[in-house]
């Protein structure tokens, strides 16, 4: 990752700031489904995105605008390039890393399924969407143009921009589903398994804050700081994490740190000491102890083994 920051151009550095386009929630509908959009963001990926998953009825659409990198999922590791699309739904673990000489610029849209008709016709848009909890492929339906129009609406904020944004989001959703229609796998959930599940409670806003914290701030995140962000006491926060993610705070933070470290070990030549510090450990020795406990091998042995098999 050190060489990543050194090799990108000054122009890219000036544009590398994380851009968040929403200052309030947007809702859109499509064929019996109603969604609330919690976040629309765009950035150059100059950091590791550790393995993470979203909660019940939570989804994230990703589109690679430019650059190259890797996407790690439970189905394998995929090379990403301009035009790559991927959707990650409830429980789908995924991680991302840019190539050092051509970092990815990408957009992500994080949204929740709020309402769903119980009678879903087979082959409908809703049926196709609900059958797919994870998918990666290339865009054939002009996603980049739609996203640029969405960014323009949300940046300019001209009269009627919210209505315009909702319309564009609906079309983005339709085109996304059309891209992967007919590419289902045996591992994907069927609509029948999802229909009838309770919709998200008002805690879905807290869930977004929690997921964002472990995604961006895993290196120095504390239980106290997370509790403050979501407006709960540390004890209530632990309960919230167990009920929604099945793990305690320490387990979630360790998982994020180890995922980031694993990607850095395999896909960069950074020193183990540097990796340890970058993911939140004060010493390489303490990092190595935790890594061995998590993966069953020392960081050095893990790197040798994975690099041989690449």
**pTM of the entire structure?**
0.73
Average pLDDT value over all residues in the chain = 83
Query: Do residues 227 and 236 make contact, with C-beta atoms less than 8 angstroms apart?
Result: yes
Could you say which DSSP state residue 197 is in? P
Per-residue pLDDT tens over the stretch 162-206: 999 999 999 999 999 998 874 444 333 333 232 323 333 435 668
The pLDDT assigned to 309 comes to: 67
Q: Name the segment(s) of the chain with CATH classification 1.10.10.60.
A: 217-309
Residues near 250 by beta carbon (within 8 Å), at least 6 away in sequence: 223
pLDDT in tens, 67-89: 999 998 887 888 899 999 999 99
Rounded average pLDDT over 38-66: 89
SS3 state of residue 92 = coil
Which part of the chain is CATH 2.60.120.280?
2-194
Span 216-242, pLDDT tens digits = 899 999 999 999 998 899 999 999 999
HSE-up of 66 (CA within 13 Å, CB side)? 6
Which CATH architecture describes the domain 217-309? Orthogonal Bundle (1.10)
Instruction: Extract the tokens encoding 296.
Output: 């069953």
Question: What CATH superfamily classification does 2-194 receive?
Answer: Regulatory protein AraC (2.60.120.280)
């Amino acid at each position: 990752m050190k060489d990543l920051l050194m090799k990108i151009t000054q122009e890219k550095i000036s544009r590398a700031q994380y851009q968040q386009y929403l200052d309030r929630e947007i809702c859109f509908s499509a064929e019996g489904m109603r969604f609330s959009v919690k976040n629309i963001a765009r950035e150059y990926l100059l950091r590791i995105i550790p393995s993470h998953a979203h909660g019940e009825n939570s989804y994230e659409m990703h589109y690679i605008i430019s650059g190259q990198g890797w996407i790690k999922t439970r189905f394998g590791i995929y090379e990403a390039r301009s035009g790559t699309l991927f959707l990650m739904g409830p429980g789908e673990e995924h991680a991302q890393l840019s190539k050092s000489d051509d970092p990815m610029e990408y957009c992500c849209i994080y949204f929740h399924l709020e309402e769903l008709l119980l009678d879903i016709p087979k082959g409908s848009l809703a049926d196709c969407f609900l059958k797919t909890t994870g998918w990666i492929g290339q865009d054939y339906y002009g996603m980049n143009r739609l996203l640029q129009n969405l960014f323009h609406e949300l940046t300019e904020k001209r009269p009627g921009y919210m209505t315009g944004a909702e319309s564009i989001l609906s079309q983005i959703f339709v085109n996304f589903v059309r891209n992967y229609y007919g590419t289902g796998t045996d591992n994907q959930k069927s609509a029948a398994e999802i229909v009838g599940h309770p919709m998200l409670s008002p805690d879905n806003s807290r869930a977004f804050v929690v997921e964002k914290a472990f995604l961006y701030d895993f290196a120095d995140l504390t239980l106290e700081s997370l509790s403050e962000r979501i407006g709960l006491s540390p004890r209530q926060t632990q309960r919230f994490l167990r009920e929604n993610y099945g793990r305690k705070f320490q387990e979630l933070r360790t998982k994020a740190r180890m995922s980031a470290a694993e990607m850095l070990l395999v896909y960069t030549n950074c020193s183990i000491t540097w990796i340890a510090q970058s993911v939140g450990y004060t010493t390489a020795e303490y990092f190595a102890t935790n890594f061995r406990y998590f993966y069953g091998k020392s960081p050095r042995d893990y790197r040798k083994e994975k690099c041989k098999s690449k």
